[in-house]
Structure 1
Amino acid sequence: MTTLEAAAILLAGVGAGTINTVVGSGTLVTFPTLLAFGVPPVTANVSNTIGLVPGSLSGAWGYRRELAGQRARVVRLASASLLGGLAGGLLLLVLPEDAFAAIVPALILLGLVLVVFQPRISAWVARRHDEVSEQRAVHGAWWVWPAVLLTGVYGGYFGAAQGVLLMAVMGIGISESLQRLNATKNILAAMVNAVSGVLFAVVADVDWLVVLLIGVGSVIGGQIGATVGRRLPGPVLRAVIVLVGTVALVAFLLG
């Protein structure tokens, strides 16, 4: 790996850490970057997953004030994220690499659609959020836990835009401010990446230099996302995500 490539991956990690904290689609920045430098798809996915764990924790720390009083909720939903992340990681390891190469374009497309329509999703979530009853204030509706579990499966397998999915699920089913739910989202995403990352570290082909570069970058990005990133125009972030995601999608289809 050249110095230029290492610098580009580090910067991609910064961008992913920032975007994951604010929006939740950072994989659509790092994953295409790794593919562009010739990292095999599955190796890129597992290395990226492990590398983004520190960034998720950094973003959660940046949102620590919004996490106050949410311990019971976080513990309960984290169990769903851990189980889902483990299941998704196992699917990645069990299914043949050809299956991953076939499925990933669809997952990238899904992630791009979610990012493009994120403002409408957020607006709809906000409207629904005002309608939920006080009974959902702590743990949410009965279906929130299984929905978080399924989101964890998705995140453990690939993970792009899992933050958007989590915010939609929690925003509809839990009576809480969206900023506080965003703080919870960062914890849950970290749990998914951590459990699948541990699994990958033991049995998968990991590029540890990539992990280090993305990890350092995502930690920096997590702090940026918790401060400056929240003030950046949403359309700018979405445009960047859609651009790099489209590049990845084209690369897969042409490859």
Structure 2
Amino acid sequence: MKHADAPLSIQNMSVAYHKKPVLEQVSLTVPEGKLIGIVGPNGAGKSTLIKAALGLIPSLSGEVKIYGKPYKEQRKLVGYVPQRESVDWDFPTNALDVVTMGRYGHLGWFRRPGSKEKQIAMSCLEKVGMAEFADRQISQLSGGQQQRIFLARALAQDASLYFMDEPFVGVDAATEKAIITLLSELKKQGKTVLVVHHDLSTVQEYFDWVILLNVGIVDIGPTNEVFTKEKLQQTYGGKLAIWDQEDSHTLIG
């Protein structure tokens, strides 16, 4: 599937760390308005795929287009939620300021955020249930609360395409539910969301589309077509110990 105006199109991307291939000849095109899970074993290149698409790490080859243009020309259209452990949570700033940073792409670097931006940031905090923590230092928040703050910042960007790197890792059940509610809302607004995800038991419930990745693309497409026992065996190899199609319980060993 090739569309010049697709939210994300990648052609022949390869990435290596210390000469070891992490992604090899990855090509994919994703449709608009879908929740898309990126699934594969540890070391499959899931986070690398996102970071290389955003230009955060160099790629050996390949071309990335966001709505038909290079990422640097489309930055305003893209929101990114990194892995929580990659963030310096000791940085002296409060929750509201972090979320307000999501508005900088709309302001340009030389305009300071005013009351309108603060109002937008507060409404995003409310959407993730964190309005009462607006003045709290981010270092004093729990892991789940920190994750909600980062989601609120992505919301404040008002992007069209979102990349989320393991947003469900280490969060409590209430935060997981809040994230899913948020993803559903983004989908209703016609946004496209790619999520690096490790819990196979929730893939069918959470995502419309799936990218099965293990250094290269194993398959990509609608979840009910791609997320099968056979395709998962291809993706995980011998590591896929148990697969029960009835209730989607999966153990990785």
Q: Considering the TM-score relative to the shorter chain, is it more than 0.5?
A: no
Instruction: Choose between structure 1 and 2: higher strand proportion.
Output: 2
Larger Rg: 2
Could you tell me the TM-score, scaled by structure 2's length? Answer: 0.31
Could you tell me the TM-score, scaled by structure 1's length? Answer: 0.31
